[in-house]
Structure 1
Amino acid sequence: MRIPKLAFLLSSAAFAIGPCQASAEQITFVSQGGAYQEAQTKAILDPVAEKLGITINQDSSPDAWPVIKTQTETGKPVWDVIDTPAKDCIRGGEQGMIEKLDFSKLPNVEDMPAEYKSPYSVAYEFYSSVLAYNKDKFGDNPPKTWVDFWDIKKFPGTRALRNHPLATLEAALIADGVPLDKLYPLDVDRAFKKLEEIKPFVTVWWASGAQSAQLLADGEVDMTMAWNGRVSAVVKEGLPVGYTFNQGFLQYTSLCILKGAPNLETGVKFINAALDPEIQANFPAYIDYGPANPAAYKTGKISPERATEMPSSPENAAKQVLVSDEWWSSPAGENAQKRWAEFIQK
């Protein structure tokens, strides 16, 4: 694909392609790297650069939060638009490090659900933490719920969970009988008590999405929580792996703008264009993560068959819990993360 107006930040050097770069509007866009950033370059960034006639410089940071703090503390921010978990945008905004968005300048966002937005951010793409399993192990009766995951008698076998409290605490509470629509605010004490029950049977606490998928691919565990995109890649390889969106945890990364961003107005234009339903509908052509703007599913660009594989499709979203980034960015959420470290080290 021709990339006429796209630049990548390589260390401290910027490389730009396209005419009249010095006079063109530009932004520095930051995402999380890897196959995900490659996919969104084709799906979102290239079309937006062409539509707006701007240059998009790219940087990547798997964990943007420390850099957000550093750039704002120095008073010389380099980044403009950041693709990062919403909790980083929210706590950054509350601490004066992220710009408050003017939604009157974001018409493409207007009809998106209120829970997809905060004063500082708007949802960009969706993924899910799902229950995945070895099909050879369970045959026609695989685990379908977190109650099943906790039931070692009915569903014997090796298990893995993510070494992080987000979604893991929610799964524990669902396993303990909390309705999906009554999870927040999380009862942290109850969640950790339920986790103590399953902890002796968890053989691996995985630290990366790649590891979670590899555990299933290698047959090292029989069931695990995993990100849908990682599991679907294993399924497409023809391995005996299955997963369900039932009781999954719908999560999204958000777009927000660094406080004092050098290209604020262009950054706002970028966010609006990136949330255009027609552009959002490009996501499924390149990766198994779903568009954040529900109107993308009405464009006709996403087939009904493909929609069944998307975490944010109306049918799949209805089966899941929308993770509350507002709660996880609160003092209670931050305390839960600190407590997690103690739980794992026991």
Structure 2
Amino acid sequence: MRAITTYFVFSAALLLAAFPFAAQSQEVPDNLKGSGEVVFGSIGGTLEAAEKKAFFDPFTRDTGIKVVLVAEDSAKLLASVKLGQPAYDIADIAGGQLATWVSKDAVEKIDYSYFAKETLAGIPEPLRNEFGIGNYTYSSVVAYNTNKFPEDGKHPKNWIDFYDTKEFPGKRGLSKCEKMVEGGLLEGALLGDGVLPEKLYPLDMDRAFAKIKELMPHVGRWMVAGGDGPQALMDGEVDMASSFNGRIAAAKKEGAPLAMSWDQSLLEYGYWVIPKNSPNKENATKLLAYISRPEPQAAFAEAISYGPVNKDAFRFLPKKFAGNLPGAPDLVQKQVFQNYEWWSTRGPDGRTNYDVALERCTDLLSQ
């Protein structure tokens, strides 16, 4: 019941975000200014470009703190944390993985005293975790190549169509095991097998992996990076793919023959976390406090079409544009909220559902 309540609260907060209200623009407070650097683990691609434009460059300009970007590598980071020498100061992790990181004592608590009260008031409670602050909302969508499936013709509209290889022949792109949460691998399989959104959780792993196994001969690429979906679609390696809405929107804007459907899309979010014993913990906290404000959140949304976690950011976005962001009132009714509480639940053996699913997925793909 707690999980259901949490997601209704989050959903309501997103729905309310469309209504304008008065708010004072904020100047950067002195407690966010400083010197030195903060090292950020970047996923790269269009996401990095958007973060640099909306977050990092303005942060350095306004605070005097330099942002150093390094390639994101979760396994390498966790290993370095275990040695007491974290490879970077801020990591971007999927919402469903936070509990695992906490259990490994791999992250610092967030010092919310650096955040303005107005900033915190604009962020829904589920995104203000003790060990992580929400970064952005995004969606795993069914995307396709319009040369194969014209938008004005017969094309896949949801996960049922995605898994229907008779009606929609062609190669598929699916997220590999280590990216199965943010890629919606299990959820997509179950929705594709006819499970109703309201009956999706708890996930039936047996049924999900059976459906994935059935589709495996038709998978042209197992994707590990955010840019893999649009790239595989543009290269003709696959005809449809599970991909992130922002990546598809950015590629389409550049003229790529891609399209996507919001039907049954998964509404997701991740967290920014500070690895344990981060050498630049204070600067990392300042960066997180800075970019959680509504203005940077709005600038980021415009740069990549991912939804802001601070609902006040919608005040700074054109209404028509805001209506096409994950979690927008006109879209949220078509979307499925990903349940991170289920992914973080531990069984009698102490392992989370994520841990169990990762092992099973790895075994399946190695066959």
TM-score range, shorter chain: 0.7 to 0.9
CA gap of 1:322–1:122, structure 2 versus 1, over 3 A, is farther
Contact 2:72 2:91 survives alignment (8 Å)? no
1:55-79 alpha-carbon deviations (Å, 9 max, x no partner)? 1331323223432441x33334574
The Cα shift of 1:342 comes to 1.5
Aligned to 1:34: 44
Measured in 2, the distance between the counterparts of 1:312 and 1:76 equals 37
Matching residue's letter, 1:148: D
Instruction: Report what 1:342 is aligned to.
Output: 363
2:43/2:71 contact within 8 Å kept: yes
Q: Distance in 1 between matches of 2:149 and 2:253?
A: 19
Distance 1:321 1:260 in 2: 36
Separation in structure 1 between the aligned mates of residue 130 and residue 233 of structure 2, nearest angstrom: 39
8 Å CA contact 2:247, 2:304 repeated in 1: no
Contact 1:185 1:327 in 2 (8 A): yes
The residue type equivalent to 2:127 in the other structure is: Y
Q: CA deviation at 1:43?
A: 0.5
Q: Does 1:118 align with 2:107?
A: no
Distance 1:282 1:267 in 2: 20
- Identify the residue that residue 322 of structure 1 maps to in structure 2: 337
Q: 1:174 aligns with which of 181, 191, 202?
A: 191
1:128 corresponds to 2:117: no
| Aligned: 1:145 with 2:166 | no
2:304 aligned counterpart, secondary structure: coil
SS at match of 1:246: strand
Paired positions, count: 320
Q: How does 1:165-204 map to 2 (within 5 A)?
A: 165-166=180-181, 167-204=184-221
8 Å contact 2:265–2:334 — kept in the other structure? yes
Letter matched to residue 285 of structure 2: V
Encode CA deviations 1:90-143: one digit per residue, 9 max, x unaligned: 322232221122445533133422332332111112332210123343342321
Report how far residue 308 of structure 1 moved. 4.1
Work out the CA distance in 1 between the residues paired with 2:70 and 2:267: 23
1:88: Cα distance to partner? 4.6
Tell me whether 223-232 or 258-267 shows the greater mean CA deviation.
258-267
> Amino acid of the residue matched to residue 244 of structure 1?
S
Equivalence for 1:49: 60
Does 1:80 pair with 2:101? no
Over residues 126-174 of structure 1, what are the superposed CA-to-partner deviations in whole Å (9 max), with x where a residue is unaligned? 3322101233433423211111222233333333322233311100111
Partner of 1:290, secondary structure, is coil
- Secondary structure (helix, strand or coil) at the match of 1:268 reads helix
Q: Are the structure 2 counterparts of residues 279 and 339 from structure 1 closer, same or farther at C-alpha, using a change threshold of 3 Å?
A: same
Q: Aligned partners of 1:264, 1:221: CA distance in 2, in Å? A: 42
Contact 1:27 1:81 in 2 (8 A): no
> What is the aligned counterpart of 1:310 among 305, 317, 325?
325
Whole-angstrom distance in 1 between the partners of 2:49 and 2:238? 30
Q: Which digits, 9 at most, give the CA deviation of each residue in 1:252-305, with x for residues without a partner?
A: 332222223334444333322211011211113432333222221123xx2233
Q: Structure 1 residues 238 and 27 mapped into 2: Cα distance closer, same or farther (>3 Å)?
A: closer
Q: What is the percent sequence identity of the aligned residues?
A: 34
Mark the runs of 5 or more structure 2 residues left unpaired by the alignment. 1-32, 346-351
Whether contact under 8 Å (2:76, 2:87) holds in the other structure is no
Deviation at 1:181, TM superposition (A): 3.6
> Residues of 2 paired with 1:322 and 1:184: CA distance?
10
Write the distance in 2 (CA, Å) between the matches of 1:258 and 1:220.
37
CA distance, structure 2, for counterparts of residue 231 and residue 240 of structure 1: 10
Query: Could you tell me which amino acid in structure 2 is paired with residue 120 of structure 1?
Result: F
1:215-234 equivalences under 5 Å are 215-234=232-251
3-state DSSP of counterpart to 2:202: coil
User: Which residue does 2:170 correspond to in 1?
Assistant: 157
- Which structure is higher in RCO with an 8 Å CA cutoff and minimum separation 6? 2
Gaps of 5+ in 1: 1-22
Report the CA distance between 1:205 and its aligned residue.
Answer: 2.8
| In structure 1, C-alpha distance between the alignment counterparts of 2:226 and 2:88, rounded to whole Å | 26
> Of 91, 95, 106, which aligns to 2:104?
95
Letter in 2 for 1:91: T
Residues in 2 aligned to 1:218 and 1:88: alpha-carbon distance in whole angstroms: 31
Q: TM-score, with normalisation over the residues of structure 2?
A: 0.77
Larger strand proportion, structure 1 or 2? 1
Q: Is the 8 A contact 1:28 1:78 kept in 2?
A: no
Change in CA separation of 1:78 and 1:176 when aligned onto 2, cut-off 3 Å: closer
- Paired amino acid for 1:320: Q
Separation (CA, whole Å) in 1 of partners of 2:357 and 2:341:
14
Shift of the 272–211 alpha-carbon distance from structure 1 to 2, 3 Å rule, reads closer
Alignment of 1:234-245 (within 5 A): 234-245=251-262
Q: Which residue of 1 aligns with 2:226?
A: 209
Alignment of 1:262-301 (within 5 A): 262-299=279-316
Cα separation, 2, equivalents of 1:210 and 1:75: 31
* TM-score (normalised: structure 1): 0.81
Q: Which residue of 2 aligns with 1:13?
A: none
Alpha-carbon deviation of 1:87? 4.3
Q: Is the 8 A contact 1:109 1:272 kept in 2?
A: no
1:144 partner amino acid: K
In 1, Cα distance between equivalents of 2:83 and 2:236: 48
